[in-house]
Structure 1
Amino acid sequence: MKELGKISQLPVNRFTENGAYLGLSDGTEVLIPKRYLSGEEKEGDVLQVFVYTDSEDRPVAVTDRPHALVDQFAVLEVKEVTGIGAFLEWGLEKDLLLPLSEMKQKVKRGDKVLVMVCIDYKTNRLLAVSKYEDFILDDTSVFQAGQEVEALVFDRTDLGFKALINGFYEGLFYSNETFKPLAVGDKVKAFVKKVREDGKIDLQLAPVGRQKFEEGAETILKKLSENPFLPLNDKSDPSVIREALGMSKKQFKQCVGQLYKKKKIVLKEDGIYLA
């Protein structure tokens, strides 16, 4: 069944007391339960559904969309741990099983875990695999410094936060360079700081180089548009600047200098005023 684990457009073949049967590409049918129907459908209509297996391992179609489809990564929360593995919340009535044999490390209830949604071809069921290294792409030559990427934060280490880049590459935000709060499961816009000789990627939240100061300057101007005074100056504590603007003191000073030269702000002893 090629529709398993995917969003598909399937035609309504017939109706029963329990719902409707939709036609699959292999000529078989799958039931969409009555609770997922509006009551206005008719035979021949095409419905957008997700196909997986129910608690009795029967194929079923639903209109709900999970947090990840087959062959996709997601950070999912552990709902329950049993003798066969962990059950993860992924947006559907039936939780997704992370078998013990597919765990990278032990987990407990409430943990957030990076997993790949896979098909167990022996049982024809969807399952989760947390040994993510098996699916990560190694050729990072497609990246360059300054490139904008999408990052999914999936782990915290002594160095900082590990993140999945554009769905299939691994990168790292260093804690001492990250001035906005990050948490496992966050999806953020990020920028490649450096592609190291070993192929590993260093990330940062702010754009690289001059563009960074332009974006930081926009942050300051936005704050001043809400209140035309900021009680900050070059003597302000770095932690106060970071809490107010989400940037380092060095970036703050460079952005202020840029805005001052453009006559966008007025600097006084007590802080910054909108010009």
Structure 2
Amino acid sequence: MIEIGKYNDLRIVAKNSDGLSLSDGDREILLPYQHVPTNIELGDNIKVFVFVNKDGNTIATTQQAFAEVDDFAFLTVVDANDDGAYLDLGIGKDIYVPTREQKRMMEIGESYAVYVYLDETNNRMLASSRLDKFIEEEDFDFDEGDEVSLLITEKTDLGYNAIINDKNIGLLYHNELFANLKPGERRKGWIKKVRVEGKIDLTLQPTGFGHILDSKEVILKELKECGGTIELGDKSTPDEIYDRFQISKSAFKKAIGGLYKERRITVSDNEIKIVVDHLAD
């Protein structure tokens, strides 16, 4: 079955004046010649993105679409009027966002987090920035501490909202961030807490003892590569620590505290040093 708004693996079954006919064994659609790659023959299979064009015809393209149906994505407005806005999908066919599906009025040149879906009345792709309508609020396929994929969607008073694994939504708190975030970024994150009411707290730092063990080894390796001394210590700022190791100050202090107890380093306000006996380990 050919899926509109998705990538499909189809077979080339014929050539005509407009392009190649592609088939899934049941239905045929057109791949225009301007999107036909070189060195391809009848009978070959080809991966294409399928959509309905402005004339209502279902066609294929080898251009890279920025999003598929059922995806959350961050797309840029290329045109807008009182009825809606058009977002660049990367395939020469823009995707429409009706005014009723805009969380706030969209402006040309601005980018927004949206959900892409199929209009069942005409099989055309639409998008909505009212993300809450498409979020799964109870079906969590992760546990606290799990690594997840995040799409940063918007800045709030508390922090940044992020889509989790293209299904759920959670929050990264301002006071726990040690890096500048921008809506549209995709980040690796971790589930910090799933609250009773279903709210999900996120973090950009792995949690648990295993993370501290990893951080200890990273710091020790860096010390050896730098000749045994790093100008970071108890009084260093969170930004300085994050710039060097991409971990929070809390995680840094736990890691160097563990190394100090093992007598592998010495620690001062603004410096850590490897103990000479461990320099060649």
Q: TM-score, normalised by structure 1?
A: 0.88
Secondary structure, in 3 states, of the residue corresponding to 1:244? helix
Deviation at 1:25, TM superposition (A): 5.2
The aligned amino acid for 2:48 is: V
What does residue 19 of structure 2 align with? 19
The 5 A counterparts of 1:181-192 are 181-192=180-191
Q: Quote the Cα distance in structure 1 between the aligned partners of 2:109 and 2:216.
A: 39
Secondary structure, in 3 states, of the residue corresponding to 1:203? strand
Secondary structure, in 3 states, of the residue corresponding to 2:247? coil
Q: Quote the Cα distance in structure 2 between the aligned partners of 1:148 and 1:5.
A: 29
Q: Is the 8 A contact 2:178 2:239 kept in 1?
A: no
What does residue 168 of structure 1 align with? 167
What does residue 205 of structure 2 align with? 206
User: Per the alignment, do residues 141 and 56 of structure 1 end up closer, same or farther by CA in structure 2, a change over 3 Å counting?
Assistant: closer
Aligned residues: 274
What does residue 248 of structure 2 align with? 248
Deviation at 1:135, TM superposition (A): 1.4
Further displaced range: 80-89 or 45-54: 80-89
Deviation at 1:223, TM superposition (A): 3.9
User: Structure 2: any 5+ residue segments left out of the alignment?
Assistant: none
Deviation at 1:272, TM superposition (A): 2.2
The aligned amino acid for 2:247 is: M
Deviation at 1:226, TM superposition (A): 5.0
Deviation at 1:263, TM superposition (A): 5.0
- 1:21-63 CA deviation, whole Å, 9 max, x = no partner? 1125543x21111122234333222211111123433221111
The aligned amino acid for 1:272 is: I
The 5 A counterparts of 1:45-194 are 45-139=44-138, 142-194=141-193
- 1:181-202 CA deviation, whole Å, 9 max, x = no partner? 2211121221111111111110
The aligned amino acid for 1:233 is: G
Q: Please give the root-mean-square deviation of Cα atoms over the aligned residues, in Å.
A: 2.4
The aligned amino acid for 1:244 is: R
User: Per the alignment, do residues 63 and 86 of structure 1 end up closer, same or farther by CA in structure 2, a change over 3 Å counting?
Assistant: same
Deviation at 1:219, TM superposition (A): 4.2
Q: Quote the Cα distance in structure 2 between the aligned partners of 1:237 and 1:73.
A: 35
User: Structure 1: any 5+ residue segments left out of the alignment?
Assistant: none
Secondary structure, in 3 states, of the residue corresponding to 1:83? coil
Further displaced range: 51-60 or 223-232: 223-232
Q: Quote the Cα distance in structure 1 between the aligned partners of 2:9 and 2:72.
A: 23
Matched, 1:235 2:235: yes
Q: Quote the Cα distance in structure 2 between the aligned partners of 1:111 and 1:153.
A: 15
Q: Quote the Cα distance in structure 2 between the aligned partners of 1:103 and 1:178.
A: 29
The aligned amino acid for 1:210 is: F
